[in-house]
Amino acid sequence: METIIEDPDAKTSVKDLSFSSDEKFLVVNRSSGPSRVWDLKSSEAVANLPREQGEIFGFCRFSTKSDNSQILFVTAMQGDYGKIISWNTTSWTRIGSKKVTRDAISAFSVSPDGTLLAIGTIEGTISVLGSRDMRVVVTVKKAHLGIVTTLAFSQDSRALLSTSFDSTARVTSTESPKSDGMYKPLVHGTSYYTRNFGILLYAAQRRSLSNVATMKKIISLY
């Protein structure tokens, strides 16, 4: 196995990393300092994405826009607020930033079609936001009784899988609420789960075997 990139920074731990869908770039978030972007072809660092005062970077995810260009999303804590920052992947400059929660962000995901973002918090809340304006589409407070550990969208982006340290798993619709204003878990259609979440459940298993076992029990009930 050939080593493509070797990062000399051994003093700080890696918090998260993400490959761009075109496999050109790798971004690495560390426990301190800027996010570093690597060109996978040249094996050179092409950008260091600086933090603003008081920011602590968390998760990072590339996303593909409708015109096939890439955008990078990075979560951060700044004081009492959790925020999402967007970066242009040509100039590597900030193009957007918004405070989205007053709880620490413990999980993050981008939908396959690039239109939605999802965050989970240490208080068990999950929120789905539009990727263009970062406006909240769905929020479920106390969706879990513990820290949200995993988030993954279905392939059609219509549903969001979340798992937690409380050994529960939940599938929530990302579409508009019903007329009563309530957001409810999706609890019907075993074929829908099989078609859209088979791979996602395997991914969740890598994070928490107990959560996957719980999810399988949920599916078997319907």
The answer to whether residues 36 and 60 touch, using CB atoms and an 8 Å cutoff, is no
Which residues partner with 37 through β-bridges? 27, 47
pLDDT bin (cut points 50, 70, 90) of residue 210 is: very low
Helices (H), the chain: 190-207, 209-220
Rounded distance between C-alpha atoms, residue 23 and residue 21, angstroms: 5
> What's the topology of domain 1-102?
Neuraminidase (2.120.10)
**For the chain, which residues make up each domain, given as ranges?**
1-102
How many Å is the maximal CA-CA distance in the chain? Answer: 56
Task: Convert the pLDDT of each residue in 73-89 to its tens digit.
Answer: 999 999 999 999 999 99
Task: Convert the pLDDT of each residue in 110-156 to its tens digit.
Answer: 999 999 999 999 999 999 999 999 999 999 999 999 999 999 999 99
What token pair was written down for 167?
Answer: 């050994």
Is pLDDT above 70 for 101? yes
Helix (H), strand (E) at residue 137? strand 136-140
